[in-house]
Copies of this chain bind each other. A is one copy, B any other.
Amino acid sequence: MSTGHVTRATDRRGIDVLTLAECLDRLSSTPVGRIAFVTSGGPVILPVNHAVDGTHVVFRTTVGSKLQIAEDAGRVAFEADGMDVRTRRGWSVLVKGVANPVYEADQVARYEGLGVLAWADLDPESAVWVRLRAEEITGREIVR
């Protein structure tokens, strides 16, 4: 997707606001993101490898807390970014929504084909797919 000729909206700080298509494009091309969820002790952030399926963010987990929040259909946030410290430019995309575990064989097969990296620690036998149904996707880019 070319973004060079798109006239973008800017937010109140003069930062470029990414379109939904741009947000999904950035999420798709960035293999590592972070998921946040709320526990009794407050918010937690954990890194995940993800893929984008339509407007859903999907990832695998064997971790108790990430899986539990999905079992509970809890509210989560997902973030990916690309920050260039040298130029002090960067972008970030935030997805807010509800997470659910996915056990249906056809959906699992579909997600297996999305090319999500399996990290060295992930036991494929016990890994469960989690789907984040996006209710809000927003992105910003600092280009000045």
Interface residues, chain A, with chain B CB atoms under 8 Å away: 13-15, 31-32, 34, 36-38, 41-47, 62, 75-79, 81, 83, 85, 88-90, 92, 94, 96, 117-121, 123, 136, 142-144
Bound Cα distance A100, B89 (Å): 27
Listed by A's residue number, 25 A-B pairs whose Cβ atoms lie within 8 Å are: A13-B62, A13-B121, A13-B123, A14-B121, A32-B81, A32-B83, A32-B85, A32-B90, A34-B34, A34-B81, A36-B45, A38-B38, A38-B42, A41-B75, A43-B76, A44-B94, A45-B78, A45-B94, A46-B94, A47-B79, A47-B83, A89-B119, A119-B142, A120-B144, A121-B144
Bound Cα distance A103, B46 (Å): 31
Instruction: State the number of copies, please.
Output: 2
The A contact surface, by secondary structure, is strand
Bound Cα distance A104, B85 (Å): 28
Chain B residues whose C-beta falls within 8 Å of the C-beta of A119 in the assembled complex: 88-90, 142
Bound Cα distance A121, B117 (Å): 33
